[in-house]
Amino acid sequence: MLTSKSFIQVYRPFEKAFISALTLLSPESCVQSSLKYSHPKLTVQNTNYDLSNTKIHIIAFGKAAISMVFGAEKSLGDSVIAGGIASVPFGSLLPTNSKIQFFPGAKNNLPDSDSEETTKKIEEYLQKLGENEIVLFLISGGGSALLPAPIEGITLEEKLKVIKILATNGATIQELNTVRIALSRVKGGKLGKLVKGKAISLIISDIIGDPIELIASGPTVSSIENQKETAFSILQRFCSDKELIPRNVWKILEKQLTTENQVLSNIQNLIVASNSIFVKTLVNQLESETLNEIKASTISTQFEGGATESGKAFFNKALSAAKLLKSDSWNIEIFAGETTVSFPSPPPINANGGRNQEMALSFFLELIKHQIETFENLENVKLGIACLGTDGQDGPTNATGAFCSTDDLQGLNLADLKSLKSEAELHLSSKTSYNFWSKFNSSMNHVKLGKTGHNLMDVYAIFYFKHQ
């Protein structure tokens, strides 16, 4: 029964269900099920394409690009595919015996000269195609970093500096993408504008609410009219010291107070996987694999906020919920979305971590402080959290995330708890959450699944239990 289980006995089935959901919703499967081909007709949702006298050209970019290409190849077959280019993450195992050319880049999730060169190749490839040829775009999270193309007058380094300043100051993914679009030759529908014939764009969403125009900065989607805020305004709001931003960037963005609308009626855009679909699958897998012994409630798939603040909020929520329990069984509440990490100015030297590891550390710090406060009269509740990224790479690290619970503090005396509190505070303030989880408990709480080839944002699960 759940009443006799430790936290780790409840967490392990959760992690197993997380991995199973990633497998079931692999990018390959999502693409394969979306393309229905029976010569000479290709059907995508309710739209038919006649391939009697033409072939398909594949352009893929994002963390799931390789897997998505595999799905397309399985659905269409070698005879239908003419060729194509894929911009894939650095370190990926590149396929062989494919008509698609694979180019790695964006080391550590950041645009670089390699991914910039691949983008130029994609632009040139599309410009050579005729009106009768069909393009299949395969787009997933990480596409912004793997498709960099700074507009004339701005270098990639200058663009990266702007984005880094915004990210450091807590800009949301929506705000970051608005600025990325303004500074790009291909984002915001500009890549799709190069297509002379018809195109299909299969998209894996990595943004809260699935705003199709912002996923990978919307390279094949008609740009937004009447945006809530211009890139110039966003930069003004997040950058109080104007000298930090190159002058040429300010001048160019100031001229873009009105955005040219890209009308792309020749492109069919379709979301084939999202965070909400993933969480539903995760819950089903958890209940199925444990024969309904472990149940979980999905609270939200649109969670956002600061990583540190969210860790505190989740601790308080778990503690309050545990105190109200009337049965001695574990409860799991699942949230999903994407948080942000804010850096002080100047940023800490040698920062090393990611939003999931930071959130788990923030939760753990609150747990330690609570244990110290109630040391003489310990409460009969157990709390825990798991923070995992579906891409398997939390920030520029090789970790998926981390988990922790009350059980991790068992056997510690007051002096041990105070020492651990100081250590957690130090790593949280220095933005070195990766270093903390690498050392704590012999790294047993550090989750490292490796790159998954997926990117459906993050999943946060809070666990709570009360002895009756």
Task: Find the mean pLDDT for residues 211-238.
Answer: 81
Q: pLDDT tens digits for 384-402?
A: 999 999 989 899 899 999 9
In a 10 Å sphere around its CB, with 0-12 CB exposed, 13-18 middle and 19+ buried, how is residue 129 labelled? middle
Q: How far apart are CA 26 and CA 49, in angstroms?
A: 25
Instruction: Enumerate domains of the chain plus CATH numbers.
Output: 27-274 (3.40.50.10180), 295-466 (3.40.1480.10)
Q: Is the peptide bond before 89 cis (omega within 30 degrees of 0)?
A: no
* DSSP conformation class of 150: B
Q: How far apart are CA 171 and CA 408, in angstroms?
A: 34
Q: pLDDT tens digits for 50-87?
A: 999 999 999 999 988 999 999 999 999 999 999 999 99
At 226 the pLDDT is 41
At 259 the pLDDT is 55
Q: pLDDT tens digits for 100-122?
A: 999 999 998 889 999 999 999 99
Identify the H or E element spanning 273. strand 267-273
**DSSP string for 37-87:** EETTEEEETTEEEE-TT--EEEEEESTTHHHHHHHHHHHH-TTTEEEEEEE
At 380 the pLDDT is 86
Structure-model confidence comparison of residues 252 and 172, the more confident one: 252
At 87 the pLDDT is 98
Highest mean predicted confidence (pLDDT) among 3-7, 220-224, 309-313: 309-313
Confidence band for 157, pLDDT divided at 50, 70 and 90: very high
- The answer to which of 246-260, 281-295, 312-326, 421-435 has the lowest mean pLDDT is 246-260
Answer yes or no: is pLDDT of 147 > 80: yes
Task: Find the mean pLDDT for residues 399-408.
Answer: 97
Q: Is the peptide bond before 396 cis (omega within 30 degrees of 0)?
A: no
Q: pLDDT tens digits for 268-277?
A: 999 999 999 9
* pTM of the model as a whole: 0.76
Confidence band for 291, pLDDT divided at 50, 70 and 90: confident
* DSSP conformation class of 191: T
Query: Is the separation of the CB atoms in 28 and 71 below 8 Å?
Result: yes
At 347 the pLDDT is 83
Answer yes or no: is pLDDT of 1 > 70: no
Q: How far apart are CA 369 and CA 124, in angstroms?
A: 58
Q: pLDDT tens digits for 225-270?
A: 445 688 899 999 998 788 889 899 999 988 876 555 667 899 999 9
